[in-house]
Chain A
Amino acid sequence: MFQRWKDSITPTDIVMWMIGGSMLLMIVWGSVATLVEGKYTGRHWVDFVIFGLAQGSIYALIATGYTMVYGVLRMINFAHGEVFMSGPFTAYYAAAAMYRTDFLDNHPFMALMVIFLVAMSVSTTIAFFLEKVAYRPLRGAPRLIPLITAIGASFFLQYLFRGLYGSGVQAYPVIKVLEGQWMIFGIRILKFQVVVILAAILLMVGLYSFIMLTRVGKAIRAVSEDKEASALMGINVDGMISTTFVIGGMAAGAAGVLYALMFKQVHFFMGFIPGIKAFTAAVLGGIGNIPGAMLGGIFLGLIESVGPSLFLDGLGIPAPYQLKDAIAFTMLVLVLIFRPTGIMGERLAVKKA
Chain B
Amino acid sequence: MRRLLTILLVFGIIIGLTAMPAVAADKGVVKIRKGEPVHIAYWFVISGANTSLGMDTVRGCEIAIDDFGGKLKGHPVKLSGQDEMCNPEGGQAASSKIASDPSILAAIGSNCSSAATPGAPILWGAGIPTVSPSNTSPTLTAADRGEEFNGYLRTAHNDTIQGAVGAQFAFNKLKIKRAATVHDGSVYAEQLANVFAKTFKELGGTITAQEAVNAGDTDMRPVLTSISTGKPELLYLPIFIAEGGFITRQSKEVAGMEKVKLMGADGIFSPDFYKAAGEAAVGMYHTSPDFTAFGSGYKKFLTAHKDRYGMAPEAPFHAHSYDATMLILNAIDKVAVQHDDGSLTVDRMKLRDQLYATKDFKGLTGTLNCNENGDCADPRIAVYETNIDNVKKGLMPTTPFWKPY
Contacts and interface: CB of A to CB of B under 8 A. Distances in A.
A167 B229 contact: no
A168 B272 contact: yes
Given A47-B225, A168-B272, A265-B242, A322 B213 contact: yes
Contact of A309 (B226, B253, B254): B226
A162 interface: yes
B47 A162 contact: yes
B239 to A, nearest CB: 12
A40 B229 contact: yes
B222 A267 contact: no
A304 B214 CA distance: 12
B275 A47 contact: no
B51 A44 contact: no
B212 interface: yes
A344 to B, nearest CB: 25
Nearest to B219: A55
A78 to B, nearest CB: 17
Contacts of B47: 162, 167
Contact of A169 (B212, B219, B241, B255): B241
Nearest to A325: B214
A127 to B, nearest CB: 23
Interface residues of A, number: 40
B245 A265 contact: yes
Given A167-B51, A267-B49, A269-B48, A321 B222 contact: yes
A168 B49 CA distance: 6
A87 to B, nearest CB: 17
A55 B47 CA distance: 27
B145 to A, nearest CB: 25
Nearest to A52: B222
A39 B226 CA distance: 9
A190 B253 contact: yes
B223 interface: yes
Contact of B211 (A47, A169, A321): A321
A174 interface: yes
B217 A324 contact: yes
Contact of B229 (A39, A174, A304): A39
Interface in A312-353: 313, 318-322, 324-325
B184 to A, nearest CB: 8
Interface string A34-73: 0000011001100110011001000000000000000000
Which 4 pairs of residues, A with B, have the shortest CB-CB distance? A319-B212, A322-B212, A321-B223, A51-B221
9 contacts: A47-B254, A51-B219, A169-B242, A171-B275, A265-B246, A269-B48, A313-B226, A318-B210, A324-B217
Given A39-B229, A43-B255, A262-B219, 12 more contacts: A44-B228, A52-B222, A168-B51, A170-B275, A190-B253, A263-B218, A263-B246, A267-B49, A269-B48, A309-B222, A322-B212, A322-B214
